[in-house]
Structure 1
Amino acid sequence: MARAKEPVMSAEEVDAYLAEVFPQMQGAERLTRIQEVGPMRARLRLAYSDTTLRPGGTISGPAMMGLADHAMYAVILAHIGKVALAVTTHLSINFMRKPAPADLLAEARIMKLGQRLAAGDVTIWSEGQEGEPAAHAQVTYSIPPEKG
């Protein structure tokens, strides 16, 4: 079965599904939100918070890596539907500049959406600094076979 080039789930549907399969991420201070999904892309926001900072007062690398992974998972789910067991097989990130003390935005793009693998990239920047990436990640996901 060919994969859809248009989303099959809205941002709200993906968000609700993630809340269902990852209830532990739904605490009082939920920092990451899916803002929109479109053809082969999604945009997420990570709220600026003391919990994401590293010494020196900047958003930590692990927080940016988590945002990149979340963004790619969201865009893949938006295009393949409710497949909880799709998993990250590769994530490589380049930190390009110190993020500003502001929310981070992530734009995830699917470059290839196959039956068993999806590959794409995620660009992360500080709000108000579009065009000045703080980080760029390449991410690959394994998609489990459909049950017949």
Structure 2
Amino acid sequence: MTKNTPPLVPVMNTEEVNRLMGEVYPQLNSEYADYVATDVFPGGCTVRLNANERHLRPGGTVSGPCLFTLADIGGYVCVLSHAGPDALSVTTNLNINFVRKAGPGPIDGHCRIIKLGRSLMVFDIDIVAGPERLTVAHATGTYSVPPKR
């Protein structure tokens, strides 16, 4: 951060974000609590996919769409927790690189806000899994921040 950049301070905590997502996006975890925010901190968040057999593709690997969803949820949690609880924030861009395969178990996404402006939030997320917590995917994305009403 440069000297002129104010620190990013969350306006919602982890519990508040999970509750809001349950209200405005109930289909995400309609039957199971697979995707959850586990931490919100200044300038970022941590999200988790509790991956099991439902998330596997042939060969016992967690599917790309599941990891992509985790990356997108990381951005959503960051924008909600730092820009405010406006559920109409939307993804405008998301790029992901798959680095190695992930098996079932907890998969964590460590998300960092790169820039939070009036209308856009840019972020990146390192997705880690396995006993060694190695990077299985890395993504960068942009969320549109709705104007304050």
Kindly provide the CA deviation profile for residues 15-73 of structure 1, in whole angstroms up to 9, marking residues without a partner as x: 00111111223423120111100011101111121111111110000000000000110
Of 133, 136, 139, the match for 1:134: 136
Of 38, 42, 63, the match for 1:35: 38
**Are 2:62 and 1:59 aligned?**
yes
Alignment gaps of 5+ in structure 2: none
Alignment gaps of 5+ in structure 1: none
- Greater strand proportion: 2
Give runs of ≥4 in structure 1 deviating > 3 Å. Answer: none
Aligned AA (1:138):
T
**Shift of residue 92, structure 1, vs aligned partner:** 0.3
**Are 2:24 and 1:21 aligned?**
yes
Aligned partners of 1:62, 1:106: CA distance in 2, in Å?
14
Deviates more, 1:17-26 or 1:38-47: 17-26
- The 3 A distance-change label for structure 1 pair 51 and 100 is closer
- The 3 A distance-change label for structure 1 pair 100 and 50 is closer
Aligned length: 145
Give the corresponding residue for 2:126: 123
SS of aligned partner of 2:69: helix
**Shift of residue 129, structure 1, vs aligned partner:** 2.2
Fraction of identical pairs, as percent: 40
Aligned AA (2:61):
T
Give the corresponding residue for 1:105: 108
**Shift of residue 4, structure 1, vs aligned partner:** 6.8
Contact 1:94–1:137 (CA under 8 A) maintained in structure 2: yes
The TM-score with structure 1 as length reference comes to: 0.92
SS of aligned partner of 2:105: coil
Aligned AA (2:114):
M
